[in-house]
Structure 1
Amino acid sequence: MLISKTMRAILHALSYSNVEVEAARKLADLKKLDAMRIFLKKLDTKVYNGDYEVPVRLYFPNEEAMKTETSQGLAYPILLFFHGGGWVTDSVENYDRVCSRMAQDTGHIVISVEYRLAPEHRFPIGLEDCYAAARTLYMDLLREDQDKITIMGDSAGGNLAAAVCLLARDRGEFMPKRQILIYPALGNCYTEESPYKSVHENGTDYLLTAERMENYLLLYENSKEDRKNPYFSPLMEQNLSNMPDTLILTAEFDPLRDEGEEYGKRLKEAGNYVEVHRIPNALHGYFALGIRFFHVQESFRHMNAFLEKRED
């Protein structure tokens, strides 16, 4: 289905390119005013990256899960989640509704990580915060239940999820069994030199612009050399063998679409189990919309089918 001329005009008006960090963070803070957040089943705690306390928030699918988890050990599988926002904006707080919905609709406990943001904390600080959260789960808290953990992220969080899995494989401390990447940011170039058709076709008028993505990279990187680092841009990794079972969801009108699908193709060629599903007519960021939105419903159908199949 094609986007109507009216909707295309609206999208064009909303598709700005500059990244004003403070303005974007103030806009993200408005999401914290949602009164319904007080009814969410959640628990705040922390893990450590060295001496730094990394806040994490647990979301439970139901009251029973909350009571069981705190008194009798692990009874529900885990989704370890890294939020999007271009490594620069958003937080655990304004992903409250998204994570609560995920917990309820998947029957999993969702653990959302408040990693440090750029430009104050550039690569690889946020990534190391995410890795520390994963390491704590796999090595300290759930060593006997590692197969019950799935690593997941959307957009920049999808980048972090993929990078954490690469780091885990390379460091050899633990190995995730599954990863779910929602329209992940895996590349390192969003200029006219990009090799991906979706960057050129969807990079101006579909909310997330290619220029804004390039600006996010500039805020996240410590140096230009970072762009060659596979933990910064997972598509730079030459050896993708021995990676987790992977589900990748892309959006049809997203500049990041082709790089997510390319990553899935390369993972499969390296011998991994991979599912890639393109959500028709969807824009980047749709996953944060309400559960009644049909693109979100379709995503949960793919996620639940993948989890049911690969958790057996």
Structure 2
Amino acid sequence: MKPTRRGWFALVVVAAAVGNAVAFGPRALNAVVVPVVVALVVSAIQLRRLSQPRVSRTPVDDGFPDERRTVSLSFDASPAFPARITDSLSEGLAGDSTVETVVGDDPVTYEVEYLHRGRQTLGPTTLVAYDVLGFFSRRFEVSDRTDVLVFPRLRALSTPARRTLARLSHSGVSDERGEFDRLRGYVHGDPLRDIHWKSSAKSDDLMVKAFTDRTDPSAVQVSVGSVEGSEDDVAEAAAAVCCSLLELEIPIELSTPVGTLDAVSGSRRHVLSHLAQLHPGSVPEPSAEVVVRGERAQTTIILSGREFSFEQLREDGGVKASLGGRSASEVVS
């Protein structure tokens, strides 16, 4: 516990009054010093009786860079007291996490922005408590922390790149056609009889009819590695490749310096969570059908022995802002 600026001013007033009392008589002492001393003593006792409050932070959703989330802190404290609350944020997060409030009343909220890919941390929480008159302050630190994953930026691949990826899957064609399933984009090699001309006329791309049991795609191996400092770019490239394959309903076998992961359509969150934690390391499987390799100058994607830069395969505009009318968060929900 230590005096605030107001507290120091009160102490100076007391000291000056005591000096005046010595010089001019005790009447000034009774008139000025006693009320201020009583106020100081009561304020000090009030802060001394406070116990460290318990803090609970509501779960915060994972997300992508540039997205924002609301953080809510609740306190178990009795009696209530005024305080300045500061929630620590790791380097990949930004926000005004310092709030002046009364602890013990309503929850405290603030906005946090996701800046960089990776596992980020909110907390610990620091409380600087004040007495009612603001003469003294007392510091509490609550070690409660919350982790949040910031995924790689989700970028779109060009239509030719997606077609090249589709050809990597070895599909076994059935002699019998099952029930109609859905419409999808045309991929080189699709029978002309499957083209849905009416839908194609309304779209920039050819649309074909897909049937439930026409194909049984085998998994495509994707192996990822990077040098120090290129992890973010590599994670973005790998996310674009993996999510494109999964959107084509092609399962993948992903290997990175972090470990291995098998994924099928509908499990993009697992892939993005894996890539959010990518760290430098060599490509685990150099002979994989898709190799994403990060170097200091650029990120290279190797498709069945052919090398491309990530920029060559990306769709114009880069960031996949519109995903079939869904936000990036909805894509991985």
| Same fold, TM-score > 0.5, yes or no | no
Q: Which has the higher helix share?
A: 1
- Provide the TM-score with structure 1 as the length reference: 0.20
Greater relative CO (CA pairs within 8 A, separation 6+) = 1
**Looking at CA atoms only, which structure, 1 or 2, has the larger radius of gyration?**
2
Q: Which has the higher strand share?
A: 2
- Provide the TM-score with structure 2 as the length reference: 0.19
